[in-house]
Amino acid sequence: MPPSAKDGPILRVQGVRKSFDGREILSGIDLEVMPGETMVIMGGSGSGKSTMLRCMIGSLPTTAGSIEVFGQNICGLNEEALNKVRLKFGILFQSGALFNSMTVAENVALPLQEHTRLSQEIIDIQVKIKLEQVQLREAADLYPAQISGGMKKRAGLARAMALDPQLLFCDEPSAGLDPITSAQIDRLLLDLTKKLGIACVVVTHEMDSAFAIADRMAMLDKGRMLAVEPKAWFERVRDVPDAEVKLLSEDEQIIHQFLRGAAEGPLSERQSESDWEQDILGARPRVPGVRSVEASRIVPKTEDESVLTRLRRILRA
Ligand SMILES: Nc1ncnc2c1ncn2[C@@H]1O[C@H](COP(=O)(O)OP(=O)(O)O)[C@@H](O)[C@H]1O
Ligand SMILES: [Mg+2]
């Protein structure tokens, strides 16, 4: 029986902190994911999404807090125990992370060969089923270098699902793809996880993708969770007219600006206050802030205004 809501969360993150060289990147994160639900973790680049994902899959030790996967706290587990837990979830890496020297079919077969005692004949059938599920059977004998970016993602997804996980982690599933291919990957992810009842934790900065696949969403900003709410809540915040934004709380205003990919708002003020000089002089690459956020395909960008704001600031200085 696959786990259901009455079994409690499939993933429970409590008070997780993570520092690198004394610099805190995650400042006490709480998050619960229920069986079968898709949780999208959003945030601008540098907000800590990948760090959080790496903590959740046990590839990065946390500084404090606990992460329970299928009821088991993975913090402090040794590599052998971790590998046992890892068999129960799938991971779709940003680039697909396929082995270039193996065909698509061989890549998908790998987890089955390493972690099951199935005969090669059964494995071949399983691989065909997985490739069919991601609509990639015709590419079974091709090498990663011979297929497109979207096909690599699908092959990565087939491999992540090889051991029939109940939980799937995805890092930026549509990154680097054109809008149509990325919408197709979103649709595939949604179809598969819903059909098979798989819980899915997706990290992304792409708003269209986030709204397409999420049941609930979590907004990460500078290592802090601003909100964990159903998708409809985020839609309501996004759709608040600019004239009424001042009625929102401070965190909601940040979320509003992020969701609309707007150039004006608390995110950019914060950025220009701390970074404007380096920004203008190009002394270092931009890190967090709205400029790193990909604007939604439906909201027009207002780049010029933010340049103006910055210029005014320089003139005042
Ligand atoms: N291994 C590391 N060592 C030091 N700093 C790191 C390391 N990994 C990430 N960081 C820092 O943590 C912050 C968050 O990074 P990351 O989690 O990759 O953000 P995101 O995925 O949201 O873009 C960044 O400032 C980044 O430079
Ligand atoms: Mg990242």
Domains identified in the chain and CATH numbers: 5-233 (3.40.50.300), 262-316 (no CATH)
Could you give the CA distance from residue 314 to residue 298 in angstroms, rounded to a whole number? 32
Instruction: Report strand pairing: 224-230 vs 216-221.
Output: antiparallel
pLDDT of residue 18: 97
Ligand 2 centroid distance, CA of 306 (Å): 25
The number of the ligand nearest the C-alpha atom of 48 reads 1
* pTM for this predicted structure: 0.82
Measured in angstroms, how far is the CA atom of residue 19 from the centroid of ligand 1?
10
* Residues, CB-to-ion distance under 5 Å, ligand 2: 49-50
Query: How confident is the model at residue 270, as a pLDDT?
Result: 66
Q: How far is the CA of 55 from the centre of ligand 1 (A)?
A: 12
Place of tokens 């993570």: 18
Q: Is 51 in the pocket of ligand 1 (CB under 6 A)?
A: yes
Query: Tens of pLDDT along the chain (317 residues)?
Result: 566 767 789 999 999 999 999 999 999 999 999 999 999 999 988 999 999 999 999 999 999 999 999 999 999 899 999 989 999 999 998 766 889 999 999 999 999 998 889 999 999 999 999 999 999 999 999 999 999 999 999 999 999 999 999 999 999 888 888 889 999 999 999 999 999 999 999 999 889 999 999 999 999 999 999 999 999 999 999 999 999 999 999 999 999 999 998 777 787 766 555 544 444 444 444 433 333 343 343 333 334 444 445 444 444 44
Report the alpha-carbon distance of residue 214 to residue 47 in Å, rounded. 19
Within 10 A of 99 (CB to CB), how many other CB atoms are there?
12
CB environment 187-226: b (16+ within 10 A), e (fewer): ebbeebbeeeebbbbbbbbbbbbbbbbbbbbbbbbbbbbb
Pair of tokens at residue 297: 């395909």
CB 223 less than 6 A from any atom of ligand 1: no
pLDDT number for residue 2? 60
285 lines ligand 1 (CB under 6 A): no
Pocket test for ligand 1, best of 23, 25, 203 (most atoms within 8 A of CB): 25
**Contact predicate 251/227, CB 8 Å:** yes
Nearest-atom index, ligand 1, CA of 43: 22
Give the per-residue pLDDT at 152.
92
